[in-house]
Amino acid sequence: MVRIPETSGYKNPKNINLEVNMEFKKNQMVELYIDDIGNEGEGIGHVDGYALFLKDAVVGDRVRAKIMKAKKKYGYARVEEVLEPSRDRVKPVCPVARPCGGCTLQHLSYEKQLEYKFRKVKNCLERIGGLENIEEKMEPVYGMDEPYHYRNKAQFPVGTDKEGNLVTGFYAGKSHQIIPCTDCAIQHPVNQKILEKVLHYMRKNHISAYDEKTGKGLVRHIVTRVGFTTGEVMVCLVLNGNRKKLKNAEQLVDSLREIEGMTSICVNVNRERTNKILGSQIEEVYGPPYIYDYIGNVKYQIGPLSFFQVNPRQTRILYEKALEYAQLEGEETVWDLYCGIGTISLFLAQKAKQVYGVEIVPEAIDDARLNARMNGFDNAQFFVGKAEEVLPGEYEKNGVYADVIVVDPPRKGCDGKLLDTMVKMAPKRIVYVSCDPATLARDVKILGEQGYQVDKVSVVDQFGHSGHVETVCLLSRKDK
Ligand code: SAH
């Protein structure tokens, strides 16, 4: 039985317009039934028309909750007790799932998480995108076979607890309090060994953790990367200082090298008093400051600062979908906008005549060019700049052409100027890869008014146990 209601995943608290007759206050206790799911995967329930948003609540739960923040028409509450659990509620695998700010959906069965994500995309496309019967064009959601230990990148803050002991783990939700945890359920299992070895080395050599309040202390974060295909492992210590501050560094190296696949140990220098995890300077400690990994047949070099998709198995599915939707036969010219390190571009270059990538971050384009060379692609060319400036500029100046345009924008979606140029260029197909179904739907509507129809949609779960949704959408010219 489908129990998630039709309105799922689509509520903006500001639009709630129910009559509220009672006044609600902070710290007030209420009992309520959870009847909907919000944009971040939180539960939504009502008391006399007053909407409450509750983290850690599942549709179908009956809960006792404490109001933490009360606005006029809606508020936020904390689950104090689950009075009657929903049938979809499961016991989280991770003991710190609730306090940790990482996973927001671990108490919802994975099957229902996928259903929620599917509905979220469907509802956005129908309501914001104005598309009818879109479900007919949607493929079944691509979930993970094993929704644990899927991440290839982790960033663990290091600090001290109240007793002054060194700890590492994750920040609690909306705070910088460290929840100690070395065996995260969604990270690669090698992380546990790494964290224990680094903490052991730090204790033995009296190496301090960085303290955000005073700006003193050395080790800020432990950043790890794992190549799922190559088995290569990287450890990067983010220091408030340089590598010379690591006393007896050889002890750390010897200990970490006992881990199979340890290829790269390096330091990232970050002396700034900011929330930014990484600084720009990298120093080698052991091996090169990068590892390699593959997505499909394409090889990528990954350093501590490189952007690389965090779930390589699902990324492969996502990119293969993008490639399938592009329907390349070998003679096409393809533009890949918001291309990052050229991951999709190189995937497309396997089948296209020529690919052009555009990305705003210059370092990402350096990686894209390097990866193109390393894989022997001479049919991929990259531009640094804003997609909404580079593409219109190239079109107006040089009359560039595209058979297919691929876009993979950040959450805010595509710029209007970019969409205008795309329409003018009249590609046969547009493949829209999206990490936010609301902006996808908005852009699809704009493209729909300019002659493009949605042919196919697939939802690929890249981030199990979080509310994030990744979608690939194929649009084609209505007159073709
Ligand atoms: N397609 C890539 C990256 C997608 S993430 C991949 O799959 O790995 C979105 C990317 O858009 C980021 O790399 C970000 O730096 C870039 N970006 C953000 N705003 C942009 C803009 N206005 N023009 C071009 N690129 C932009």
The answer to whether residue 12 scores a pLDDT higher than 80 is: no
What is the architecture of the domain spanning 153-295?
A: Beta Barrel (2.40)
Residue nearest ligand 1's atom 16 by CA: 338
- Residue position matching structure tokens 């070395």: 182
The answer to whether residue 3 scores a pLDDT higher than 60 is: no
pLDDT of residue 15: 42
The answer to whether residue 35 scores a pLDDT higher than 60 is: yes
Secondary structure (DSSP) of 73-124: SEEEEEEEEEEE--TTB---SSTTTTTBSS-S-TTB-HHHHHHHHHHHHHHH
Q: How far is the CA of 316 from the centre of ligand 1 (A)?
A: 18
For residue 168, give both structure tokens: 């590492």
**pLDDT band, very low/low/confident/very high, at 172 (cuts 50, 70, 90):** confident
In the chain, the amino acid numbered 129 is G
Q: How far is the CA of 218 from the centre of ligand 1 (A)?
A: 32
Instruction: Find the mean pLDDT for residues 145-156.
Output: 96
309 Cα nearest atom in ligand 1: 8
The answer to whether residue 226 scores a pLDDT higher than 50 is: yes
415 Cα nearest atom in ligand 1: 22
CATH number of 115-145+311-477: 3.40.50.150
Residue nearest ligand 1's atom 10 by CA: 338
Residue nearest ligand 1's atom 11 by CA: 338
Torsion of CA 415, 419, 421, 426, to 10 degrees: 160
For residue 12, give both structure tokens: 């903006």
Q: Which of 359, 390, 391, 432 to mutate to test the pocket of ligand 1 (most atoms within 8 A of CB)?
A: 359
The answer to whether residue 2 scores a pLDDT higher than 80 is: no
The rounded mean pLDDT for the chain is 93
187 appears as a binding residue in the annotation: no
Instruction: Find the mean pLDDT for residues 386-411.
Output: 97
Q: What is the pLDDT of residues 273-315, one digit of tens each?
A: 999 999 999 999 999 999 999 999 999 999 999 889 999 999 9
For residue 69, give both structure tokens: 């923040």
Domain boundaries, the chain: 1-89, 115-145+311-477, 153-295
Residue nearest ligand 1's atom 13 by CA: 340
Phi, psi of 100 (to 5 degrees): -65, 140
Cβ-proximal residues to 188 (8 Å cutoff; 6+ apart), any chain: 149, 151, 152, 154, 224, 226, 228
1-89 and 115-145+311-477, same CATH topology: no
Is the domain spanning 1-89 CATH 2.40.50.140? The answer is yes
The percent of residues above 90 in pLDDT, for the chain, comes to 87
Q: What is the pLDDT of residues 44-80, one digit of tens each?
A: 999 988 999 999 999 999 999 999 999 988 999 999 9
Q: What is the pLDDT of residues 197-220, one digit of tens each?
A: 999 999 999 999 999 999 999 999
Q: Is 319 exposed, middle or buried (0-12, 13-18, 19+ CB in 10 A)?
A: buried
Specify which residues 89 forms β-bridges with: 108
Q: Which of 300, 321, 346, 360 to mutate to test the pocket of ligand 1 (most atoms within 8 A of CB)?
A: 360
Active-site residue set: 435
Q: How far is the CA of 436 from the centre of ligand 1 (A)?
A: 13
**Site residues for ligand 1, CB cut-off 6 Å:** 307, 309, 338-340, 343-344, 358-361, 364, 386-388, 408, 410
Residue nearest ligand 1's atom 12 by CA: 340
**pLDDT band, very low/low/confident/very high, at 7 (cuts 50, 70, 90):** very low
**Which one, of 458, 459, 444, lies nearest residue 131 by Cα?**
444
